[in-house]
Structure formats: C-alpha cells, structure tokens
Amino acid sequence: MYTSSDVRWCCCEHTFEKSRQPRLMGIVNVTPDSFSDGGAFFSTDAAVQQALDLASHGAEILDIGGESTRPGSLPVAADEEIRRVIPVIREVRKHSRQAISVDTTKAQVARKALEVGANIINDISGLTFDVEMVAVARDYKAGVIINHIQGTPQTMQHNPVYTDVVQEVFDFFERRINQLIDGGISAESICLDPGIGFGKTAAHNLSLLRAIPHFQKLGRPLLVGHSRKRFLKQLTGRDVNEREYGTLGVSLALAQLGVDFLRIHDVAAHRDSLLAYSAVALNIDPEQPLQ
C-alpha cells in the first residue's frame, strides 16, 4: 500500500499528486431532472458554458453527466445519454485543458466520452452495473472513481440497513480494488468515493464522513460528493437551494480530515473558503502551489 504522501491518481495524461488541501470537481448535470439543478444546463450551450465557468472558478475536474442518479430517478437509455453528454465533452475539450470525468454507469457512454477527450469514469456502481466497464477503463488507462452504493438509484433510499456502515464500505473498497487490479486496471488509476446519499441514512452519511482517516488506510485518494444532499436538510433544516452553507461546512471539515477531492456545485465559494482555511489552519501561502 502507498503512504499518504505517495498517493497519486493517474487519469490518462492527467496525474494528480497529493495536495495539502482538497482539489475541486465541478458538477455539470446535462439532465432535465437532477435533484439540485435539473434542467438548468440541459442544452449543450448552457452545459458547455457552465463547465468553462467552473474551470475559471477553480475546478480541476469537470464532471459531466447525462443521467440523474437522485433517489427514485429512472434510467436513461445509452443513446440518449450519449446525445446529451458527448457534444458537451467534445466542445469543452476544445476550450479547456482541465481533466474531464464522465458520470455514467454505461460502458458504451464511457467509451465514447473517452474518445472525445474525457479522462475519468465516475461510476456510481463502482464499475459493477455494466460488465464491459472494466475493459473500457483498462483500454483507455482512464482514471476511475469507485463509488459505493446499496441498491440502485430507484431503490437505494428504501430503508437502507447496515450492521457497520464504515466497515462494510471499507470492505467493499478493498475487495473492489483487488478485483479491478486483477482486471488489468492500475492501482494508481483508482479513486474512492464512499457514496454519500447512495443507499444511506443521514446517520450513515455522517459516520462515513467522520471515517475519512480510516478509509485513507486503503492507500488511494478519496473523493466525497456531499454537495446540497438530503442529509444536510436534516442537519440545517434547509431546502435544496439553501444548502450551500451546510455544504461548505462539511467541506471544511473534510479538508481538515485530509480528503483529496470534493465534488461540488459552487466551485467559487469552495475555492475561496479553502484558500482562507488553508492560510489559517495549514499556514499555506495562497500565492504558492498547493503540493
């Protein structure tokens, strides 16, 4: 296993070294029905502009998806998902050198996205829903984000139950890392996401967030996608369009715990908050590189 200072994430031609503060992944939902911003960036032009805006605000990864995975959402056919995301990825790649991740569980979508310039496969199923996904990731040497989910988006919030959520997610990660390595994927291509809100109660989510140091024992970078999610309503009482402050609070706590990547909607607010946090708590000069 790697030590924490050695951890790097290799995603095609992009390599992310360990940083002293989290790197930011900006969310671009090319969907009519995502839980937070569904429909806002459904057109190609709007999605491309949003991606470029997020890059200018400090996102080092642009996460582009064409299928909502909110609780209860219905699947989207592969050809429709391709129609939504491929023009966006192609156009963003013309104007940005930032890493691009495609948020999909379908190998057909992932392959086309990698062909037009994506670098990362962000798969909520941990590359389990589509048996061809491992081969696609291996063939393109793509970065992969292994998300934990209990059930499917249609069923995941129907009374999720664990004996020990932290240990069960840890065991899933350990098992899946070994399976992917056996399938020809480099360990350095793998990033881990505990799957906040994917088959978890608010209590499960909080347990997983507090356990970031435990997951670091796996020796792979950690990504958390908690932005505006439902457990924040239980913490703050706020509706989805009022959860940015709650999101920021969790993000700063995760920065203190040493998480590597944050998948978030409001990149500018996170960039400024993390710069201020790092200047005070970590004595990082904001004028200097973060590595």
Residue 229 among the catalytic residues = yes
Q: Across-strand partners of 64?
A: 28, 102
Distance CA 168, CA 153 (A): 19
Distance CA 59, CA 261 (A): 10
Catalytic pick from 23, 200, 243, 263?
Answer: 263
Catalytic pick from 106, 220, 229, 243?
Answer: 229
In sequence order, the 6+-apart residues with CB closer than 8 A to the CB of 54 are: 26, 27, 28, 62, 267
Distance CA 91, CA 112 (A): 14
Largest CA distance in the chain: 49
Report CA Rg, the chain: 17
Residue 112 among the catalytic residues = no
Reading phi first (left if > 0) and then psi (alpha if -120 to 50, else beta), residue 62 is in beta
Distance CA 89, CA 120 (A): 12
Distance CA 151, CA 186 (A): 27
Place of tokens 């984000």: 145
Structure tokens given for 105: 């569980």
DSSP string, 74-128: PP--HHHHHHHHHHHHHHHHHH--SEEEEE-S-HHHHHHHHHTT--EEEETTSS-
Catalytic residues: 229, 263
